[in-house]
Structure 1
Amino acid sequence: MSVKDTPFFEHLDTNYAPTEEELPALRNIIQGNEEILTDLDAQIRALTDVRNARADFVQRHFALLSPLKRLTDDVLSTLFLALLDHPDNRHAKMSNAHPAVVLSHVCRRWRQLALDTASLWTTLRIHLPVLPQVYPYGARSANPHMAAHSPLVELTRRWEKEVEKILTMTRVWLERSKECTLTIDLLATDVTSQEQDMSPKADTSGLTALIEAICDASRRWKVATLRLSTTRFTSIDSPFRRIFTLAEDDVPLLQDLTFSVDASFGIHPEEESLIPPHRETGMLGGRSLHSVSLGTICVDINTLPIRWEQLTDIQFNGYIHAYTPDVFPGGTGHGLSFDCTQALNLLRLCPRLVNCDLSLVPYSRPLESFGTVSLPHLKSLTLRYSVPGMKFVSCLQAPSLRKLVLPNFLDTGIPNEHAAESPESSLIAWLEAYGHQLTEIQFNVSTLTPAGLRSVMNLLPHIKTLRLDHNGDGASFPPTPNGDQVLPMPAMVDELFLGQFIEREDQGNDEPRGPLWFPRRGGTTFTEQDLLEFGKAGQLREVTEGDLMAQLEEMGIDVSYVSRIPLRPEPVYPDDF
């Protein structure tokens, strides 16, 4: 029908008021069309139902064409494992959102296949919540009934329920993994203070049961990361006692172990309560162990029951300091200190090392006639906090070394009576010995002079990966007088430095130019565009004027205040500034 067919066409959308005689005709028109609308709505609903049924019919038949339905179980399980190995899922903790659980909820076939694929359940990443504690001043004088009404009571009950939930999931994972080797990642805290009256007492039986369940499967451990925090170290009191008392026969398949115990809440002088690991930590002597990572320890590392000769990877964070005889029986008069001498002694015990990461104290005893330490397989070496000097380098033979990391965050760059060599000369000594064979390096520029930085770069002809660290923004302050001598300005990554990464054909003979750094990358020339991308990735902070810097700004790269490394040489201030 057309709107023109109505006798009221000329009055529609106007302010016209119908007369009394016109009202019956107007109501008849409305009623007739409302009946037609009701009929049309019914037809629409019926057609919609037919349409939805037809679409569902098509979709259910179309699903039969899915390639996934034609995949065999072995191919599908391989895809399951590939999903689990995706970077987004590698560190997934046990939960209902874990990829293995999600896969098992898709359909009946997928669930059965997921349950039959034991490798999906072999990684137990258990990060327990921290037990809530309070440390109020004057807790003993507080109202003893406050704890019953404190929100911490509810938090403690929630902690207990969360531990029970994790315990249940752990048992499920262990059952579904069948007899496969396991990867254990345990982060757990047991912080219970006996002196804090306002702290509600938690039931730690769930935590103890969890540790027991994990250790019951220790014969299947292949990779174990154990990061524990506790105030109780004895085999009697600690909820982690089962871990501390595992013997080498309990972990016959263990190949990779990361073990650290944070004991910052309490230290006991009795020898039997020494913080693990120590000589009684039997799992360190595993027959298959080839990779060990240790946090700070309180005993001489040489007393640990590790089979050093079979290690290929080691990381050691040094000693807990101030363990003197009045604190621990048998301690040295000056406390344990992991210096260059101890580092070389340790390296000599590990002839098969491939990767090594050690934390050194900044000051070391002199190395006199130490002899040669040969590490023919060593490819990666990290020496944290302090850079050993020429004598250390001369004792080391590492013909396969390709990666060198020297963060050097404790050395200040200021010569002193304790340091035989400056950090700059120590770094240059390393590169004179190994720079020609390195492909990856990391070092701290805050301890280098501009000339020293150029010397370092000139000793790296084959580097593919370069990382420059910095201690902070201290280099942006004016030079500080040291007696009558002004400290040298630290090295800066400026346009002149960056320019030596680019090969310029139009450079005039009168322009100063050092050797070209890294002129080739993958068989192609390292272009100015590559350098622009380098600047974009590094988010440069301050740069000098020039064509390169103008292009950086045109690309929308913020060159004002982003990085912690100052890129423009600072002005030299007068002595009376």
Structure 2
Amino acid sequence: MTTTMTITSEVHNFFIAQLPRVVSGARRLYGSFSRRSYSSIERLPNELLVSIFQMVVQGKHNRCHATFSPLTVSHVCCRWRHLALITGSLWTSLTLTYPASAPQLSRTATWLYRSRSYPLDIFLDFRDPFWDWQELSHSFGWQEMEGIMRILLVHVQRWRSFELLVDTWSPIFTFLWYTRRVQSAPLLETLSLSRCNAYLASKGQIFQPAALRQPMPLFGGLLFDRLQDVFLVGVHLDWSNSSLRNLSEL
């Protein structure tokens, strides 16, 4: 047991420090081993390799790295690819950023399929650094958010964390609108919705767009089983009908 733990620790540390080099050199090295001379990694059983893969992915605090790490692992060799593709827990980090392109949506659909039934961590950042601060001129509006919600909402019962960063109100309104009839989100622990627009809180500022000023309850007033952390910035809620209880942080 001690020997196994030592091997796991050593290989894990090696991966964390040199994963890019492992990927670039693995294809060349993989075909050069004779039957009598295997690398220490090749001698590891599948279960241990999968555990190492999981530690690599889970050890990535950067969301983009966590999203792409399983793809990197799956491109090393045939054996690693097979193990990565049948290990759903590697593909549970979903990241979409502005602008939400077709390749991003295609990748998200692939990750949703590969993650099987595992809990999902979703990070959406649709802030435009060149936005002109005009509410109606933003290129990411309710229609773009609607397309994304249709992809993600099918898997709402697997949501574990959901974070949305936008400049304007309409994408958040679309989120509230589409989730208003959700019957259950049993795994949701963290929810963060941020309208990252400093002017919305300015003195004398009128709510924009006026047509969407009617507040909506969070998830239609759904009672959550596990929700503990809620972060809201510039979010116009119907608090009287939003069922938030037993929170650790609001």
Partner of 2:51: 78
Instruction: Note if 1:274 corresponds to 2:197.
Output: no
SS at match of 1:166: helix
Partner of 1:115: 85
After superposition, give the CA deviation of every residue in 1:122-161 in whole Å (9 maximum; x if it has no partner): 01122224xxxxxxxxxxxxxxxxxxxxxxxxxxxxxxxx
Structure 1 pair 126–284 and aligned structure 2 pair: CA distance change class (3 A): farther
- Asked whether 1:255 is paired with 2:228, we answer no
Determine if the alignment matches structure 1 residue 217 to structure 2 residue 217: no
Displacement after TM superposition at 1:207 (Å): 5.0
- Equivalent residue, structure 2, for 1:90: 61
Structure 1 distance, partners of 2:176, 2:107, is 20
Q: How do 1:320-359 and structure 2 match up within 5 A?
A: none
Q: Which has more radius of gyration?
A: 1
SS of aligned partner of 1:303: helix
RMSD over equivalenced CA pairs, Å: 3.7
**8 Å contact from structure 2 (residues 142, 174) kept in 1:** no
Q: Distance in 1 between matches of 2:54 and 2:136?
A: 49
Taking the aligned partners of 2:194 and 2:186, their CA distance within structure 1 comes to 20
Any unmatched runs of 5+ in structure 1?
Answer: 1-55, 130-161, 233-237, 316-577
Once the two structures are superposed, residues 483-530 of structure 1 have per-residue CA deviations (whole angstroms, 9 ceiling, x without a partner) of: xxxxxxxxxxxxxxxxxxxxxxxxxxxxxxxxxxxxxxxxxxxxxxxx
Distance apart, 1:78 and its partner CA: 0.5
In 2: Cα distance, 1:123 partner to 1:69 partner? 27
On the 8 A contact 1:245/1:280 being kept in 2, the answer is: no
- Point out where structure 2 has 5 or more consecutive residues left out of the alignment: 1-28, 201-205
Whether contact under 8 Å (1:215, 1:243) holds in the other structure is: no
How many corresponding residue pairs?
211
CA shift in 2, pair 1:292/1:280, >3 Å: closer
Q: How do 1:166-177 and structure 2 match up within 5 A?
A: 166-177=104-115
TM (normalized to structure 2)?
0.68
Structure 2 CA distance for partners of 1:84 and 1:241, relative to 1, 3 Å: same
Give yes or no for the alignment of 1:127 onto 2:100.
no
Q: Distance in 2 between matches of 1:220 and 1:163?
A: 24
Identity of aligned residues (%): 24
More contact order relative to length (CA 8 Å, sep ≥ 6): 2
* 1:215 alignment partner, SS class: helix
Q: TM-score with structure 1 length normalisation?
A: 0.32
Are 1:314 and 2:231 counterparts? no
Q: 1:67 aligns with which of 29, 40, 54?
A: 40
Report deviation, 1:242. Answer: 4.5
CA offsets per residue over residues 82-129 of structure 1, 9 Å max, x none? 11122xx2224279x921111101111100100011011001122224
Q: Secondary structure at 1:183's aligned position in 2?
A: strand
Q: CA deviation at 1:62?
A: 8.0
- After superposition, what is the alpha-carbon deviation per residue over 1:37-84, rounded to whole angstroms, capped at 9, x for unaligned? xxxxxxxxxxxxxxxxxxx9x953288421212211111111001111
Residue 168 of structure 1 aligns with an amino acid whose one-letter code is S
SS across alignment from 2:106: helix
SS in 2 for 1:245: helix
